[in-house]
Structure 1
Amino acid sequence: MATALLLSFAVLLLIGVLISERAHRTVLSTAVLFLVGGFLLGPGAFGFITVTSGDPIVSGLAELALFSVLFTDGMRVGFRDLRTAWRLPGRALLLGLPLTLALTAVFAHYLVGLPWLESFLLGAILAPTDPVFAAAIVGREEVPARLRHLLNVESGVNDGLALPIVLILLAAAGGSNAHGEELLLEIVLGIAVGVIVPVIVLGLERLPFLQAIRSMQPLLAVSIGLLVLAICQATHANLFLGAFAAGITVATLGKGLRHDFEQFGELVTELLKLAAIMVFGALITPAFLFGDIPFAGWIFALLALLIARPLALLVSFIGAKLSLGEQVTAMWFGPKGFASVVYGLIILESGIALADQIYHLVALVIVLSILSHSSTDVVIARRFARSQEGTAAGTKNP
């Protein structure tokens, strides 16, 4: 199985790299390539990849990928960024996130019939967003800077904000051996490890006889991440919150290190994400989508994408100085990111009574999100570009 997975990933990666320039200009998407490729190569189609949700490689890859995602997300949003430009992202995070969670829970309860506890658990899993599936929005200069900053900071922080809620609700649903004080200890210890390790390492690096040369600077951040991962596993601290706290701490205390690590870290994280998306695609079968999910589940998935986040952000942006186009773009580009994939796998392995039903709904929303958001990002970016060109032309010819 390992050989088949490696060969499949290598081929898909090669194709993804070769079409990346065209994908940057069209509706083609690397994420969709790996999702569809995993589906076609998996048991639901050609059967070249044979994986199940209980395979160690699935949980191990998902865990490592999410750790990397949260570490790099934290590196994007140091405390200075949050202090200097917090107003718009704060609206999306402190009001938009809980409203999205609540609306999703309401849809799950009344449409699918989930109990309230499991409905809020599903809402917490699907609340985080990920701009990787809408890269043309956050990576294009023609898109207004405040909109790119809003989506970038929001997606960088909301994974970490949603995780404690997921853990607490999962424990309340009987899916964790850690209850009460033990769960709180795991969360607090994870955050503590994520702060203390970078502080010590960066303090040592500032000593004259221990400074790293410029070419090795990216590996300093990697070593911090690996130390946090190892210590969290050894102490049973929450390694995901440890990763997120470590990323924020490094971004805050080591601004130069953050810049040096940016490209290298993004590439490593992208590789892990794409591998996990391919495996996620291989877990999906036609029977999974059309036999195990009722019609009400499809209605729920559509409402979760088309109503929950847009309505939540519409309320959050009341009084905000955003144009209508910027508001609509922010409301639409709330792709369900990689964190939701891993949270769904955690639920599937948790042993709670409704784990299968929750996972099926999570998987459906993620699939629809990857297909829809990854196919519309370039279109929206071009619209902003045409708008800027029209404004520039009007300025020249009053």
Structure 2
Amino acid sequence: MSMIHGVTITPFDAAAILIVLAAVLGFINNLFLHLPQSIGLTVMGAVASLLVVGLDRLIPGGNLGHGVTRFLDGIDFHKTLMDGMLSFLLFAGALHVDWREMHRGRAAVIVLSTVGVLVSTVLIGTGFHLLTGAIGYPVPWLWAFTFGALISPTDPVAVLDILKRTDVTPTLEATVAGESLFNDGVGVVIFTILFAAAMGTDPLSAGHASVLFVQEAGGGAVLGLLIGWIAMRGMCRIDDYKVEVMISLAVVMGGYAVASRIGVSGPVAMAVAGLLIGNHGVAHAMSENTRDYLLKFWSVIDDLLNAVLFLLIGLEVVTIPSEMPLLIAGVAAIPLVLLARTLSVFGPLIVVRPFLSLGPLAPVTLIWGGMRGGISVALALSLPHSGARDLALTATYIIVLFSVIVQGGSIERVLGWCSRRVAGNAGSGNAGAGEPR
């Protein structure tokens, strides 16, 4: 509960304001702008935040920006996403991923979501330490690697929303979706380990980190399988869509709460449970009527929370520190993150090439389609107040805005251009092969 200009804002008021804003801005976007919803709401939220900042500077004594900041602080983006929305978003996203196609790309999913995240964390952490030192605001090594961990995972919410509008093979789509679902859970685990080491609460050693990683990620996968299996067994015994939808809600809310209590990864648990129910459960544990209701229910939940999340990302721009060195560091971090993503994708793809070929569009889809989103912002907001936090938070916001608006807005055109190039090269090769020598 927060107070703005003497008016108490309850959690229900905050939720109502966000839903109304998302609905109004979504209507404007659909009617006039015709942008993909995630991009449109992020852009309009960011523009609204910048207008608030501009009005405050034009009108002496204006407190509009302070009021918006107080409102956003009252929502607590980190707690709202990590302890609330994320469980629903991951489950809803995993529910629609084709397990058979993802299983074909399992080697790439496993390597990209583990080794890829570790490589990216090291590359970004090293580069960020050197970059901030060059501008006169050096971030200590451990905090730089912590930033690398929070910005390395691709956001499944952003990636899955973009994949709906692209024309890639089912196996590549399922591989990209699977990687984004699992690498955020892995990224959160790595972030937690590095954050504890940076704060001095836990020692950083390979053995200790490995145990924590297996406990959180492996334990999350086991929990997801367990609660998903229990839910499916219950659904097999009845045929009532209302009760079965309630069971799916119990999996998400109860499962995520249990994960946080026993110290395992809730995001990994939700991804596994969603995959299990969305594939085996939908095929064998539900009638056609229940299947239709359940998938439509979770589709609405997914779209609604997506709208609120991307609107919040845009609105949070008003809280970014505006000092010029911080902004320079944030802009300079964009090519650093893209380079790290490129290297962390090409390496794993070379490793899995003997077992799986994802096609010529795989590298560009994984690199340019590897967008950052709300999870990175939420983790950055959880950092303790310090100069390192200001640098990491500013860089995170700038990278996320670039990712959602520029990468998300151009991925269809980039993939279309690459497809034409591949087709042209194939045609030239075939023509050349038929010419007499």
TM-score by length of 2: 0.72
1:160 aligns with 2:196: no
Residue 12 of structure 1 corresponds to 25
Q: 1:98 to 1:275 in 2, by over 3 A?
A: same
Q: 1:382 to 1:61 in 2, by over 3 A?
A: same
Q: 1:120 to 1:65 in 2, by over 3 A?
A: same
Task: Provide, for residues 99-121 of structure 1, a one-character-per-residue CA deviation record: whole Å limited to 9, x for no partner.
Answer: 22221111111111322211221
The 8 Å contact of residues 289 and 364 in structure 1, kept in 2 or not, is answered as no
State the percentage of identical aligned residues. Answer: 21
1:106 aligns with 2:160: no
Count of matched residue pairs: 386
1:89 aligns with 2:109: yes
More deviation, 142-151/367-376 = 142-151
1:318 aligns with 2:350: yes
Residue 246 of structure 1 aligns to a residue in which SS?
A: helix
**Rg comparison, structure with higher value:** 2
Q: 1:131 to 1:186 in 2, by over 3 A?
A: closer
User: Equivalents in 2 of 1:281, 1:136: separation in Å?
Assistant: 17
* RMSD (CA atoms): 4.1
Residue 29 of structure 1 corresponds to 36
Structure 1 unpaired stretches of 5+? none
User: Equivalents in 1 of 2:182, 2:345: separation in Å?
Assistant: 16
Residue 44 of structure 1 corresponds to 53
The 8 Å contact of residues 51 and 282 in structure 1, kept in 2 or not, is answered as no
User: Equivalents in 2 of 1:383, 1:144: separation in Å?
Assistant: 16
TM-score by length of 1: 0.79
Task: Provide, for residues 268-311 of structure 1, a one-character-per-residue CA deviation record: whole Å limited to 9, x for no partner.
Answer: 12321321222232221397355461423321233212x11012
Give the aligned residue type for 2:85.
Answer: A
Residue 87 of structure 2 corresponds to 67
User: Equivalents in 1 of 2:267, 2:167: separation in Å?
Assistant: 34
Residue 382 of structure 2 corresponds to 346
Residue 317 of structure 2 aligns to a residue in which SS?
A: coil
Residue 336 of structure 2 corresponds to 303
Alpha-carbon shift at residue 335 of structure 1 (Å): 0.8
Q: 1:172 to 1:214 in 2, by over 3 A?
A: same
The 8 Å contact of residues 130 and 336 in structure 1, kept in 2 or not, is answered as yes
Residue 59 of structure 2 corresponds to none
1:371 aligns with 2:405: yes
Give the aligned residue type for 1:338.
Answer: G
1:228 aligns with 2:261: no
User: Equivalents in 2 of 1:186, 1:97: separation in Å?
Assistant: 16
1:196 aligns with 2:203: no
User: Equivalents in 2 of 1:206, 1:326: separation in Å?
Assistant: 38
Q: 1:125 to 1:13 in 2, by over 3 A?
A: same
The 8 Å contact of residues 129 and 336 in structure 1, kept in 2 or not, is answered as yes
User: Equivalents in 1 of 2:386, 2:160: separation in Å?
Assistant: 35
User: Equivalents in 2 of 1:133, 1:299: separation in Å?
Assistant: 22
Give the aligned residue type for 1:359.
Answer: L
Task: Provide, for residues 312-348 of structure 1, a one-character-per-residue CA deviation record: whole Å limited to 9, x for no partner.
Answer: 222222373455444233222211133222222333x
Q: 1:147 to 1:191 in 2, by over 3 A?
A: closer
Alpha-carbon shift at residue 125 of structure 1 (Å): 0.8
The 8 Å contact of residues 133 and 370 in structure 1, kept in 2 or not, is answered as yes
